[in-house]
Amino acid sequence: MSEFERHRPVMVREALEFLKVEPDGTYIDATVGAGGHSEQILKVLAQGSGRLLGIDRDPNALRIAHERLAGFGERVKLVEGNFAEIDALHAQSFLPPGAGTLADLGLSSMQLEEAERGFSFSRPGPLDMRMGEGDVTAEEIVNETPEQELADLIFKFGEERHSRRIARAIVKARPIRLTTQLAQVVTRSIPSRAGLHQIHPATRTFMALRLAVNRELENLQSFLDKVLAVLAPGARVVVISFHSLEDRIVKESFRSWKRNGQALILTKHVVRPAAEEMRENPRSRSAKLRAAERL
């Protein structure tokens, strides 16, 4: 099985329905990843003169996307960059204003399965967690952040109610170098009665560190502040989030657009994956889709 065949994009049918892809339009996949969503968009564009701009900050993901989408030739343009700079990246592409843009904010299966990336608490690897080039690693945060500040970070970004207990245990166990070592420290710091929930005890802590390392919430807000400027009237914005903090930012931005007469909200309520998809792809269970249309 090839690398891109191992990655299963989430809510493809719903994303394409809300994007309302037209064969002659220009579309932007702001987080192209392994190219799963882009491939389906390009199949529609192949029926006309449409073009697609794919953006990702992860050079390894872009390499896989290049392989996956090679058959579409010049119809697709892939660039390495942060979607927080979507205005500059779009300008550099010399493509016309977009008819729609998609942002899937989740980690890919490949990123989770590559132990050396440091995203997974079940595979021993260095505490890195950087999606692309960055200034700080999870190891630096874990080993250098003062206890109170670390507890606040885990509580804010991970919504972890045991954040103080976890931070205290981390500071006591320093230095922590490996993902599995951190996962053990977190698991042991939480009362056994608190382990009755369905997710792994280290899930929220790892999520908090990943969001902090990659400044994901800040970048998402920057993307939403800029995206309408690169779109034509009537263009669609579709965002798939996996974290309540991400979804909250998307919801509030859409509401702001509506109040300012900039966009129409297409999803009165958040759209969730179909039951069949959640059964076949458990990682899709936390996905939430929202869509809006530029006025």
- CATH code: domain of residue 129: 1.10.150.170
**Rounded CA separation 118/66 (Å):** 24
Residue 143 sits in the same domain as residue 281: no
Token couple for 223: 């993307």
134 and 72 housed in the same domain: no
What does pLDDT average to over the chain?
93
Q: Give DSSP secondary structure letters for 67-117.
A: HHHGGGGGGEEEEES-GGGHHHHHHHHTPPPEEEEEEE-SPPHHHHH-GGG
Could you give phi then psi for residue 100, rounded to 5 degrees?
175, 155
Domain extent for 264:
3-110+216-294
Model confidence band, residue 241 (pLDDT cutoffs 50, 70, 90): very high
Residues 50-59: pLDDT tens digits? 999 999 999 9
pLDDT at 63: 95
Residue 24 confidence (pLDDT) above 80: yes
pTM for the predicted model, two decimal places: 0.93
How many domains are there within the chain?
Answer: 2
- Which pLDDT score, from 0 to 100, does residue 5 have? 55
DSSP per-residue codes, 223-248:
HHHHGGGGEEEEEEEEEEE-SHHHHH
If one compares 287 and 1, the residue with the highest pLDDT of the two is 287
Q: CA 207 to CA 277: how far, in whole Å?
A: 23
pLDDT of residue 83: 98
Query: What per-residue confidence (pLDDT) applies to 192?
Result: 73
The share of the chain scoring above pLDDT 90, in percent, equals: 84
* pLDDT confidence bin for 281, thresholds 50/70/90: very high
Sheet containing strand 263-265, strands side by side: 76-80, 51-56, 26-29, 98-104, 231-241, 288-294, 263-265
Residues 68, 164: one domain?
A: no
Residues 13 and 103 occupy one common structural domain: yes
Q: What is the CATH number of the domain that holds 81?
A: 3.40.50.150
pLDDT at 197 over 70: no
Mean pLDDT value of segment 76-82: 97
In this structure, the answer to whether residues 210 and 224 fall within a common structural domain is no
Residue 1 is predicted with a pLDDT of: 46
Which among 161, 180, 214 is the end of a domain? 214
- From the DSSP assignment, how many helices (H) and strands (E) are in the chain? 14, 7
Radius of gyration of the chain (CA): 20
Instruction: Judge if 106 and 7 occupy the same domain.
Output: yes
Residue 209 above 80 pLDDT? Answer: yes
168 and 132 in a common domain: yes
In angstroms, rounded to a whole number, what is the distance separating the alpha carbons of residues 90 and 92?
A: 5
pLDDT at 102 (0 to 100): 98
Asked whether the predicted pLDDT for residue 82 surpasses 70, the reply is yes
Model confidence over 135-164: pLDDT tens digits? 799 999 999 999 999 999 999 999 999 999
- Containing 275, the helix (H) or strand (E) segment is helix 275-280
CA distance 83 to 31: 7
For 154, the token pair is 């885990």
The confidence score (pLDDT) of residue 133 equals 72
Mean pLDDT along residues 200-207: 93
pLDDT of residue 196: 47
Q: Do residue 195 and residue 288 come from a single domain?
A: no
Give the model confidence (pLDDT) of 90-147 as tens digits.
999 999 999 999 999 987 656 656 666 777 877 889 999 998 777 799 999 999 999 9
Asked if 70 and 126 sit in the same domain, the reply is: no
